[in-house]
Chains A and B, each alone.
Chain A
Amino acid sequence: MERVIEFMHLATWLLLAAALGFAFYRLVKGPSLPDRVVALELLASLTVGVIAAYVLRSGKVVLLDVAMVLALTAFLAAVGFARYLEQGASQHD
């Protein structure tokens, strides 16, 4: 039982790491600025997941505040980037 749970935690970390890698690839490579903004938003969401996984292991519930602020600022960043794009910044990505 203990070993199964340990394995599941390890698998969770591995899946999150792979997801972070894919999202980071799109952030670097993404052909246009909106692609990068989408990748950035997914990275923030993935980081919330990483924090959740870490809190489950360590019991440091205080870190959930960080996840909350991260979710808030990711939304604000997305809206800000969208406004910047609509002002006609498509040439400068």
Chain B
Amino acid sequence: MTDLFAALLQLLGAGFMLIAALGLYRMPDLLTRMHATTKAGVLGAGLMLLGLLFLHPEVHTAVRVIAIVGFTVLTAPIAAHVIGRAGYFSGVALWEGTIKDELKGRYDSENHTLASSDDSTPESVATSKPEQEIVNP
């Protein structure tokens, strides 16, 4: 019975990993690809290691499995954040169907400061110069 449960968990984990890889293969741009791989990949690896733990319930296995899963769960979001940030700043094109990019025009990638309101962005200053003088006083 334990055999069956372990094999079932591993099959489920492998399925999630296949979903992650399919997302990486099919999704249109960097951020959507990352959204697929980070979550489903971590869940898949975690499920596969958990299945292993059911068949080998010794202490030294459990310690290693908990270490791997815990470390992956802790570091995968950090790695995804860092890569996404680097990709955004190095000018990787977003998908053409993207409807919202809230950093666009508000973030100064030279000195990494975020402008809080619309009228202080370089773009809207350039396009709506007359309104600027009415709003400011």
> What is A's interface to B at a CB cutoff of 8 Å?
1, 4-5, 8-9, 11-13, 15-16, 18-23, 25-26, 32-35, 37-39, 41-42, 45-46, 48-49, 52-53, 55-56, 59, 61, 64-65, 67-68, 71-72, 74-75, 78-79, 81-83, 85-86, 88-90
Contacts and interface: CB of A to CB of B under 8 A. Distances in A.
Given A34-B90, A78-B83, A8 B33 contact: no
B8 interface: yes
A8 B21 contact: no
A53 B10 contact: yes
Interface of B: 3-4, 6-8, 10-11, 13-15, 17-18, 20-22, 24-25, 30, 33-34, 37, 41-42, 44-45, 48-49, 51-52, 55-56, 58, 60-61, 64-65, 67-68, 71-72, 75-76, 78-79, 82-87, 89-92
A46 B21 contact: yes
B48 A52 contact: yes
A45 B11 contact: no
Contact of B24 (A38, A55, A67): A38
Contacts of B4: 1, 4-5, 8
Nearest to B112: A86
7 contacts: A19-B21, A32-B92, A34-B86, A45-B72, A48-B45, A67-B49, A68-B71
Nearest to A84: B86
Given A64-B65, A65-B64, A82-B86, A16 B14 contact: yes
Contacts of B55: 56
Contacts of B20: 19, 42, 45
Given A19-B22, A26-B33, A35-B33, 12 more contacts: A22-B25, A25-B25, A33-B90, A37-B83, A41-B79, A45-B41, A53-B48, A56-B51, A68-B64, A75-B75, A79-B82, A88-B90
